[in-house]
Amino acid sequence: MKVRAEKNTNLKELSNILNVHEQLLYDSNPLLKSTFIKSGETFNIPYTEKLKCHISSTSNKAPVRNIIDFYESNDCLQKTSEFIQKKRAYDYNVLLEDLEKVTEAFPFIEKRPIGQSVLGLPIFELLIGTGTKKVHMNGSFHANEWITTSVLMCWLHEYLEAVVDGGTFEGHSAMDLYQNTTLSFVPMVNPDGVQLVINGLPPEHSHYQSVMFINNNSLDFEQWKANINGVDLNNQYPAFWEIEKERKIPKFPASRDYPGDAPLTEPESIAMAKLADAGKFDLIVAVHTQGEEIYWGYMNCEPEEALSIVTEYSRLSGYKAIKNLDSHAGFRDWFIYEKKKCGFTIELGIGVNPLPLNQFDEIYEKSRGIFWASLYSLK
């Protein structure tokens, strides 16, 4: 949230008055030349409902208002009233709205594109935290699993509020996790596919004819998992890709399961591979639906600590941990095989994809601990 200084101040004084950790104010203002802020200068502060109440309380109102002019606060307050839009079909446009709200309310987040979809939609990564432990999470590799994006965004929002408000989970301080961990967060890997499943395609679209051919001339795209080219992005990685290519029934572009003509042919899968190579992650979590299961091993390449982490995931969620699965060429498979680091696939919920929104609250409550454990379980 952008505010203006009513008089000369500094970040330490603001930290004491707002009851917000000083590092969050530093990280929210990377362009400030010093910790000293002149009267009339604009800067960013995090903003939560708890902080709103703190600012508005009688005992704190005067000192805060004497130092800070909340000249943009009305717009921000309206946006925080319904933060993550979990009660509607979560397409790319909804994601963009929520990313704008999240980065405004929590300006210590860095948002950047890591690549583009086939149709040129930016694939966004959020970076949160300053620690040496590196964790990555992603959702919506598969188009009709778009509910994973809204669950991920709600996981993230809960964490961000806890970081600002001094919250904890299972005795772990959110601020400590922020300082010890750098979180890479890609909420929607396959935006073209998500848009297709939720919104369809108009006849004038450049890909209309090819998509309709792949979908047997049906306008029902609910079972579409692939990207807009008809390639399953989670069958695109060079971890025994040849096995999947041989045994997968689709030999041509399809709504699901077609692994492509070679590994890493699609811009979305390429972007994620480049991110994993550059990010040097210690742990990755790929969120899918459905089955309430956690896949955690691959070809015995996973490190020993993967077992203790998945045990904690299962304890918190009730999900079943499955070490070995007769499947290859997935993002998690490749990450474990190539990096010899911890990788997990979380299958949220039970039912038929796309899972209905009336399952959201139950899915979220069962799975939220997995998010937190991903940040505190690494040694």
Q: Which residues are part of the catalytic machinery? A: 347
CA atoms of 211 and 144, how far apart (whole Å)? 15
The structure tokens 């009513």 sit at: 6
**Cis bond leading into 191, ω under 30°?**
no
**Interacting residues of 123 by C-beta distance below 8 A, sequence separation 6+:** 113, 114, 115, 116, 117, 186, 188, 189, 191, 268, 271
* CA dihedral over 286, 287, 288, 289, signed as positive or negative: positive
Output the CA–CA distances (angstroms, integers) from residue 297 to 121, 275, 285, 292, 307, in the order listed.
33, 21, 13, 16, 9
* CA dihedral over 136, 132, 370, 47, signed as positive or negative: negative
Output the CA–CA distances (angstroms, integers) from residue 326 to 42, 233, 287, 333, in the order listed.
56, 18, 18, 11
| Amino acid at position 96, single letter | L
Please give the structure tokens belonging to residue 68: 């800070």
Are β-strands 133-139 and 181-186 bridged in parallel, bridged antiparallel, or unpaired?
parallel
**Interacting residues of 16 by C-beta distance below 8 A, sequence separation 6+:** none
Tell me the three state secondary structure of residue 124: strand
